[in-house]
Amino acid sequence: MTEEKYHYFDMPLGELPEPTPVSARRRELARELAAINEQLVRLDSDEAALAAATEQARALRQSLEGFSHRSMRDILGRLIVGQGSRQDALDMADFEILSGPANAMSPPVTFWLDGDIVRARATFGRAFMGPPGKVHGGVLSLALDMLLAKTQDFVSNVGMTGTLKVRYMAPTPLHTEVSFEARLVRLEGRKLFSEARVFADGVQTVAADGIWISSQGDYRLKPEYAHLTDDSDVA
């Protein structure tokens, strides 16, 4: 049986292939490491317990250093011409900062498409704290940068963040499910304008808007999102 091939522009948000056994293990390992990191924050243990844990962590790090890393440049190169493997497709998303389930630095934030809205949710633990008991504003900015970038799922091109404006309206609590939503506002040549909101406990805590600049010519709506020209400012 020939293996299915994946294309970078044909991987809808939240619709990744089933994890391979390797991906499932990487995710499991990352969740353990993230949980360890969460435990470490102001851990009130004695020095001997910390010394023993450090030895275990050092041994784990040294065993992992015995392996090499798959090349992101090669993975993206294959995906961009529609020749990506299932493992390539998984590796593209699994290590994304803040959202990748195999990234030990991720809470993780989970993204999905809900019609014309990009949604996300996350529960931030103490490792993501800014003010006491609240999520760090920079973490929310990062989440919003990623969320707004996902509005590029509605268009045929991809680019980098040009401008991101964030207005913090109320503190966002830790250990509480936070929800995010973003929408495409309009296209203007190589520029994509989008806006987003963050809610916790039914209260809007952050508003953001951003401009993305395409790296490959003008942004164009994908045919299935052509209706965005009707009920929004999308040009």
User: Which one among 179, 189, 203, 216 touches ligand CO8, defined by CB under 6 A?
Assistant: 189
147: tokens are 């969320």
In sequence order, the 6+-apart residues with CB closer than 8 A to the CB of 149 are 161, 212
Minimum Å gap between C-beta 146 and ligand CO8 is 7
Work out which of 5, 7, 136, 190 binds ligand CO8, going by CB under 6 A: 190
Q: How far apart are CA 186 and CA 59, in angstroms?
A: 52
Q: Does 73 bind ligand CO8 (CB under 6 A)?
A: no
How far apart are alpha carbons 41 and 128 in whole angstroms? Answer: 10
Is there binding between residue 133 and ligand CO8 (CB under 6 A)?
Answer: no
Encoded one letter per residue, x for contact with ligand CO8 by CB under 6 A and - for no contact, window 137-176 reads --------x---x--------x-xxxx-------------
- Based on the shown chain and the rule CB under 6 A, indicate whether residue 216 belongs to the binding site for ligand CO8: no
Residues within window 98-117 making contact with ligand CO8, judged by CB under 6 A: none
In the three-class reduction of DSSP (H, G, I as helix; E, B as strand; rest coil), residue 41 is classed as coil
Whether the CB-CB separation of 93 and 110 falls below 8 Å is answered with no
Nearest residue to ligand CO8, by Cβ distance, number only: 162
- Those residues with Cβ within 8 angstroms of residue 99's Cβ, 6 or more apart along the chain or in another chain: 93, 106, 108, 109, 110, 111, 120, 146
Beta bridge partners of 177: 123
| Among positions 211, 225, 228, 234, the unique one binding ligand CO8 when judged by CB under 6 A | 211
Binding site for ligand CO8 (CB under 6 A): 145, 149, 158, 160-163, 189-191, 211, 213
